[in-house]
Structure 1
Amino acid sequence: MKYSELAEKYQELESTQKTLEKTDILAELFKEGGEDLEYLVLLARGRIYPEWNEVEIGLSSSMMQDIIAEATGYTEKEVEELWRDEGDLGLAAEELAKNKKQQKLMSTTLTVEKVIQRLRKVAEMSKEGSSQSVSQDKKKKEIADLISSSEPLEARYITRTVLSHLRIGIGEGTIRDALAEAFFEGENKDKIQRAYDFTNDFTEVAQACTKGIEEVEELKLELFRPVNSMLAKKVDTIEEGFDSVGKPAVIDYKYDGMRAQIHIKDREVKIFTRRLEDVTEQFPDVVEKVEEHIDAENCILDTEIVGFNPEDGSMIEFQKLSKRIKRKYDIQKQVNEIPVEVRPFDLIYLNEPILEEEYSERLEKLDRIVDEEERELRLVDREVTDEEEKVQEMQQKSLSEGHEGIMMKKLDAEYKPGNRVGYMVKLKPVMETLDLAIVAAKWSEGERAGWLGRLFLGCYNKETGEYEQVGKMATGLTEEQLEEITERLKPLIEKEDGRKVWVQPDIIVEVEYEEIQQSPTYNSGYALRFPRLKSFRDDKEEADSKEKIESLYEDQK
């Protein structure tokens, strides 16, 4: 299939907000896909590999800006200005490709296969072992060649695919429904979903769909191929939690650790993060603990890996533990400085998939294969109860021991990868709100172009008389809020650099958040986790002090 045909489908998908219309467009694309079907189900979500494959293209927006300049003959400044005006680097690439200042001597027609293979080639360059600068130069040359060969509409979507931001509004459910419509007249959505839950790979599911529903039903979960973790909804009260999961319920501590899916295949161990990254090499100590304390040849554990202070045994926050996730060197030093304890809380495979068994049955099997030892590997702290007072006691005990709160889980529930279905919920304490100044912002992209959307928040340092950043608020803002924020901030802009602007700290906002963490990223030394706008504080002229941030941080301990 020509890539231009796919680009036209992308444009159709982008032009409608109706899910049924998107499904129909995709179904038609999949029917016509032929040998390109496996590529199309990936590219429909802007991916070049299935979800479980962690290899990424690895080019930033600023690098893509350079590539577009090289491919079209415009200056980087001209690209940047158009990017700012359009609010989308893909649209900027399309516009510049209409009037390229330099043309390739020989132009070739792009196909879906050529594009995805070129993008995969670029992604694989990160693994070749060459220096970072050489690798990035090679990547940029390959993508520039691709943009040079593309038509304007193709340039729009190649750029967006490189940046992993396709902007056509396609989720897993739409892919599932389109496959059902393309191959089974809209039937068998549940079987297709089950196959995807097991494989985490729509390329396999799509190929099976072409052969019949029996082939779809044959797809199974495979060891060493991570599946999406089942996610928890947030509730504000214990009563709300019981309404969601029923009585009695399993009550677990909620640790401030790393969610990890641990696979054992013929006694070999691999560790995956919630984002499906393979971090086995970074956690050799976890491998040893699992080998010693899990009595199973083949299984998949859902766990929390919790860091602790080697001197006094106290819990350490995830932010410090997270340093180990990306570490590629001095691993043993990190093992010694940030030791961990493995806390399993679910079992989804034991010689065969058991996701569809009730949680109570999975827990019984988990209990049988765990040989507990403190500071090595232990089951999560948990109770089964229908009493609100008991849940309250557990929550207070969890918080007093340095954890985040509690989880409430449904006893007779199956395991649903990637879903917030209400089978488990998290109950965390509500933190005191903060009044903070907006000190900087970034112009948004896409549909929200023209609005200042990413807000940098500052607290007031009384000693220096300066505002210091304590985080940024980038999600959860409505269009009405964005419009009001932009209108208020525009007159206060002091300087600009690309899409970022610095403003006078005159706008004070009341901010909710989940916790305060220490952070080297911001000059205050602290960062709010998941800050969100509660209200404007027009009655205040000065933000809360850094001293208040420090006091609240200490109170969390």
Structure 2
Amino acid sequence: MMLSELVSTADAVTATSSRLAKIEALAQLLSNADADELPTVVGILLATPRQGRLGVGWRGIGALDVTHSDTPTLSIDDVDQAFGSLAQASGSGSAGARTATLVSLATRATATEWDLLARAMLGELRTGALGGVLQDAIARASGRAPAAVRRAAMLSGDLGETAVLALTGTEADLDDVGLVVGRPVLPMLASTAATPTAALEITGRASVEYKLDGARIQVHRHGDEVGVYTRSLADITHRVPEIVEIVRGLPAHDLILDGETLSLDEDGGPRPFQETMSRFGADVSRDLVLRPWFFDVLHVDGRDLLDEPLSTRLAELERVVGEWRMPGIVTDDPEAAERLSREALIAGHEGVVVKGVDAAYAAGRRGKSWVKVKPVLTFDLVVLAAEWGSGRRAGWLSNLHLGALDPSGEFGEPGGLVMVGKTFKGLSDELLRWQTEQFPPLETRRTQSTVFLRPHFVVEIAIDGVQRSPRYPGGIALRFARVKGYRPDKTLAEADTIQTLRALLRG
């Protein structure tokens, strides 16, 4: 299969809001792919290459200066081989080897092909082809029951291999995929609500639990063998020996646990999320100890609990993990739920998750059985630049560069602006058109992808918090930033400051 066919399908999927149309387009693409191409195709669509981490960052890709091909020549196999070379590069000379591979791939790709590949490598592809849509497309292409595909995907943790099994195997092969200790499964996800009271109206009687600003972990144990995995199913066992030791001491032989981990400071409060995540990609640091909190159990000593109600799973969890259980209460009382939420926020955590006690564990899916509640923070920031969109947003100025005021000049010129992040989320077609009309008169300079602006527009941005980041001069980056709306009523002097945002680092 040619890469251009995948690009055309991705553009079609991005251009439509119809779920059925997305499924049909993706199903046709999967049907046209050879069996050995399916994992690569699925990996690109989900921006999670089958090889895992490629060792490629936005700086390396942004620094490339190449002339793209005028005609499509790349196959899916060509891309897979290049991704393999990137992932395997290590040791002395690996940076140069990766750059050479990127230059070769970018030169052979057309401009539109490279745009898709770059976003896939950086995990920033936005086609609407998320897991649920792609699972339904696999079912459509293979003629298998959607429920069977979803279950095989959640229990194998590998949607690419599920596609191979569905399209080339038998119905029995798909049904035989089961829960296996040592093989991570896709985690269950939560929808959102504005308040604990609103969440209880969705779930009914529920377990109301702390939502930590930590990292999701899934832990498997078979005897003394323990494996620890991230929410993306990456194996981090060798990075977290303290968690391994804790799980080895639990009163069970076989276990699959779901939970979170973070590091505590000297006062017992949570350290910033970025510090916890640094442990996943670096050698063990004795100065940063991780503590686990477990909130679910999927298997214990030969007994699968996926299809059991949460009330049953919690009873087993309490018996097995004891002090390592996530704080929470079981209630249908809104006042009790609101009280626990306030306690979590005072302790420096994000909020609460409200989980219906009668619900099974729906691995890999975001339903109404779990509902997260955390306060939304809004800040008025200044637009510094905008990047040209791609796909359905081609021709429009889209991704915003956002800055905060620095009145004291702590991070630059007094009264200047410090970049704190980017976002394209929350922009309607109307806003995209407005930006494309209004921004050019304020242009100070431009690159191939970005128009830099004279500071003028103040925009209200909702965020979930901030995290430490060496990428920006202020040392922080916004988390899950999205546009709420422009504030023509506010001047630049009324924008929020970098010091205000940095104050969020400690809870």
TM-score by length of 1: 0.78
Q: Counterpart of 2:398?
A: 453
SS at match of 1:315: coil
Write the deviation string for residues 293-325 of structure 1: whole angstroms up to 9, x where unpaired: x2222221111112111x333321212222212
RMSD: 3.4
**How far off its partner does 1:525 sit?**
4.2
Corresponding residue of 1:180: 139
Residue from 220, 243, 264 that aligns with 2:221: 264
Question: Deviations for 1:256-282, whole angstroms, at most 9, x for unmatched residues?
Answer: 111111121332112111122222222
What percentage of residue pairs aligned between the two structures are identical?
A: 30
Q: Which of 180, 189, 203 is the aligned partner of 2:146?
A: 189
Distance 1:534 1:369 in 2: 44
Q: Deviations over 1:382-425 (max 9, x none)?
A: 11111111112111111222212111111011111222201111
Picking from 409, 431, 437, the partner of 2:382 is 437
Question: What is the rounded CA distance, in whole Å, between the counterparts of 1:385 and 1:423 in structure 2?
Answer: 15
Pairwise mapping of residues 90-101 of structure 1 onto structure 2 (< 5 A)?
93-94=68-69, 96-97=70-71
The number of residue pairs the alignment matches comes to 496
2:494 to 543, 546, 551: 543
Structure 2 counterpart SS, 1:55: coil
Q: Which sits farther off after the overlay, 207-216 or 380-389?
A: 207-216
Deviation of 1:239 after TM superposition, in Å, equals 2.5
* AA in 2 matched with 1:529: R
Query: 1 CA distance for matches of 2:426 and 2:31?
Result: 37
Deviation of 1:137 after TM superposition, in Å, equals 4.6
Q: What's 2:411 paired with? A: none
Match of 1:419?
365
Per the alignment, residue 389 of structure 1 pairs with: 335
Is 1:240 paired with 2:185?
no
The higher radius of gyration belongs to 1
Give the SS at the match of 1:392. helix
Residue 39 of structure 1 is aligned with which of 37, 42, 58?
A: 37
Distance 1:371 1:245 in 2: 25
1:125 aligned partner: 88
The aligned runs of 1:9-408 (5 Å cut-off) are 11=8, 14-15=11-12, 17=16, 19-21=19-21, 23-24=23-24, 26-27=26-27, 36-40=34-38, 42-44=40-42, 46=44, 55-59=52-56, 76=66, 79=67, 93-94=68-69, 96-97=70-71, 114-115=77-78, 118-119=81-82, 121-126=84-89, 128-137=90-99, 139-140=101-102, 143=105, 148=108, 170-184=129-143, 188-209=145-166, 210-246=168-204, 248-292=205-249, 294-309=250-265, 311-327=266-282, 329=283, 331=284, 334=285, 336-350=286-300, 351-372=302-323, 378-408=324-354
Measure the CA separation in 2 of the matches of 1:205 and 1:261: 20
The alpha-carbon distance between structure 1 residues 212 and 176, as it changes in their structure 2 partners (threshold 3 A), is same
Letter in 2 for 1:400: I
Q: Which amino acid counterpart does residue 88 of structure 2 have in structure 1?
A: M
Tell me if structure 1 keeps the 8 A contact 2:86–2:98. Answer: no
The answer to whether the 8 Å contact 1:50/1:200 transfers is: no
Residue in 2 that maps onto 1:82: none
Deviates more, 1:276-285 or 1:21-30: 21-30
* 1:492–1:119 Cα change, 3 Å: same
Between 342-351 and 540-549, the greater mean CA deviation after superposition: 540-549
SS in 1 for 2:436: helix
Q: Please, which runs of 5 or more residues in structure 1 have no aligned partner?
A: 70-75, 80-92, 99-108, 373-377
1:379, distance to aligned residue in structure 2 (A): 0.7
Unaligned stretches of 5+ in structure 2?
A: 409-413
Deviation at 1:531, TM superposition (A): 2.6
Does the CA-based 8 Å contact 2:463-2:480 persist in structure 1?
yes
Cα distance change, pair 151–444 in 1 and its aligned pair in 2 (3 A): closer
Q: Distance in 2 between matches of 1:523 and 1:49?
A: 28
Counterpart-to-counterpart distance in 1, 2:501 and 2:440: 31
Deviation at 1:156, TM superposition (A): 8.4
Aligned residue for 1:269, secondary structure, equals: strand
2-side partners of 1:38 and 1:493: how far apart? 48
One-letter amino acid of the structure 2 residue matched with residue 177 of structure 1:
D
Partner SS, residue 439 of structure 2: helix
Q: 1:11 to 1:166 in 2, by over 3 A?
A: farther
Letter in 2 for 1:421: G
Indicate how the Cα distance of structure 1 residues 239 and 267 shifts in structure 2: closer, same or farther if over 3 A, else same: same
Greater CA deviation, 260-269 or 520-529?
520-529
Q: Secondary structure at the match of 1:510?
A: strand
State the distance in 1 between where 2:63 and 2:457 align. Answer: 35
SS in 1 for 2:237: coil
